[in-house]
Structure 1
Amino acid sequence: MITLAVQPLSAEAFRPYGEVIAATDAARHFPINAGNTERYHDLARLEPGPEGRIIVSLFRGQPRLLPFTVAMMERHPLGSQAFYPLSGLPYLVVVAPPGPVPTATDVVAFLASGQQGVNYAPGTWHHPLLALDAVCDFLVLDRAGAGPNCDEIVLSPAALIPALD
């Protein structure tokens, strides 16, 4: 089994897998509503794919205990999938590059703050939600439409996320 090093989530490190969604100074932003609101603009490229449409959902993730074995991965080949935490708590993001079925050596783990979301590019392999400390709600923007849009694989050998310091 491969042990994953968990690294902080950053836009640069996550770029091969999609985009980080966060209200940072690096994002294009400007005041609206007579200066009462700051708009952080166009933070992710949402892809509905052919014959698809973007839908809005809420996912409620149950907390996972660490250490945690990553034994499966999934991907959505026809569209992107964006997650934004609503609970303000950190969570884990586990990904592998789009393309062929990954092995444990292809898998990367990130620790996201409760103020960072992610947008998985179409075809990016990822583990389902990994809430850590409590039940966490996520706003999810993804694709609905014709065609199969979820591939799942068993990761063999598995990867291990160790306890965080």
Structure 2
Amino acid sequence: MNRIEPLTQEAFRPFGDVIEANEALENFDINYGYTRRFHNLADINVDAEFGKPIVSLFRSNPLPAPIKIERLERHPLSSQAFMPLGASPYLVVVAPAGELVEANIRVFLAQPGQGVNYFAGTWHHFCLALQADSLFLVIDRAGPGSNCDELLLDTPFTLDISGLV
């Protein structure tokens, strides 16, 4: 069974960016000191094959527990960023870009206020809401070309979330 890890900048670096208001990242005051800008938090990459950035909302429903992970997807032409708009944690299941090696799948627990930006080609599961329907702001690519590959896992696995919800 895959261990669920806390989502941190360092642990997630091979897969993409963690989007969060983290004082350790570049930040500064704007708007006459009334606003703190956490700057340049994700490398949005959507321009391959004449792609353009789009902003969408995804509403994800929790899956029944224990959560069965049977497939992953990737977007070879672009990054894909997810920022939760609610106050519930969610799970992030990822594997490095390239040929999918199931032994390299990792699972992270993202807290409210933590988003992720998957690098182009990073394998990932769709959003895994935990406690309630969850709304995510999504920045990804629209344009020509095939930008979604999906693979069934040779060895599906389940995630015990009993201590998380």
TM-score, shorter chain, exceeding 0.5: yes
The 5 Å alignment of 1:1-165 reads 3-50=1-48, 51-103=50-102, 105-165=103-163
Letter paired with 1:12:
E
Query: Secondary structure in 1 aligned to 2:33?
Result: coil
Specify every segment of 5 or more residues in structure 2 that has no aligned partner in the other structure, as ranges: none
Q: CA deviation at 1:164?
A: 4.1
Distance 1:49 1:5, change over 3 A: same
Specify every segment of 5 or more residues in structure 1 that has no aligned partner in the other structure, as ranges: none
Q: CA deviation at 1:102?
A: 3.0
Distance 1:120 1:88, change over 3 A: same
The two structures, once aligned, show a CA RMSD in angstroms of 0.9
Query: Secondary structure in 2 aligned to 1:88?
Result: coil
Residue identity (%):
49
CA distance in 2, matches of 1:152, 1:94: 14
Letter paired with 1:11:
Q
Task: Map Cα deviations across residues 37-62 of structure 1 (whole Å, 9 max, x no partner).
Answer: 11110000000132111100000000
Letter paired with 1:78:
L
- Displacement over 3 Å in runs of 4+: none
- Retained in 2: the 8 A contact 1:84–1:117? yes
Query: Secondary structure in 2 aligned to 1:34?
Result: helix
Q: CA deviation at 1:64?
A: 2.0
Letter paired with 1:29:
N
Calculate the TM-score normalised by the size of structure 1: 0.95
